[in-house]
Amino acid sequence: MGIAKYLKAGAININTIERQIEIAEKTLILPYDKLKPEDWGYIYEKYVGQKLESEGFYVEYNGLEKGFLDRGIDLIAAKDNQLFFIQCKYSKGTISKSKIEWILYKASGILYDKFNEQNRKLVFMLVVNKKAINFSRRKPKNFQLNFTDVSKVEFPMLQYFLDHNYVQDKIRLACREIEMIR
């Protein structure tokens, strides 16, 4: 988690022209060629958090603070009477059924704990860079959804994630696309 300490130093700017990440008003510059592929996940978390802050959310950077001990929650954001637990996925590949099940399983512990101590609406949100890249439009063989006609769904795996609301009726599931261009 080496990059996290740098990302905690301040706001980031992604300079696509000079191919670098600028942190804390250019007091620290990380050239793209010095970044590892896994660093982009942490950069995306910071980017999403900043985007939400610009929309009036209060944001805690759980993933940057706790690393692999984040319990499946990268960001915790609050606005109005809602509390959002957010898992960010910055990937060039599609998110499979087993990956969705892992995301839900990993986050379920903290969601259950927080549900029991909160008086406000809870949302578990999956944030992706591009739905069209992260979710296939193709329906897997022998694939059925619980509440939705799969033939009328644009992204079957995304709908599979959202259909888990029936299990967690007190915690709403959502997906949002926040594009980060690098």
Tokens found for residue 34:
């010095």
What is the tens place of the pLDDT at every residue in 163-180?
Answer: 876 545 578 899 999 999
What is the tens place of the pLDDT at every residue in 40-87?
Answer: 999 999 999 999 999 999 999 999 998 878 889 999 999 998 899 999
Q: What percent of the chain has pLDDT over 90?
A: 54
Domain spans in the chain, listed from the N-terminal domain onward: 2-177
Nearest CA to 120 among 85, 93, 83, 84? 83
3-state secondary structure of 174: strand
What pTM was estimated for this model as a whole?
0.91
pLDDT value of residue 14: 96
SS3 content of the chain, % helix, strand, coil (to 5): 40, 25, 35
pLDDT value of residue 121: 79
- pLDDT score of 133 more than 50: yes
- Collect contacts of 34-41 with beta carbons under 8 A, ≥24 apart: 35/3, 36/3, 39/3, 40/90, 40/182, 41/88, 41/90
DSSP 47-77: HHHHHHHHTT-EEE-HHHHHGGGSTT-SEEE
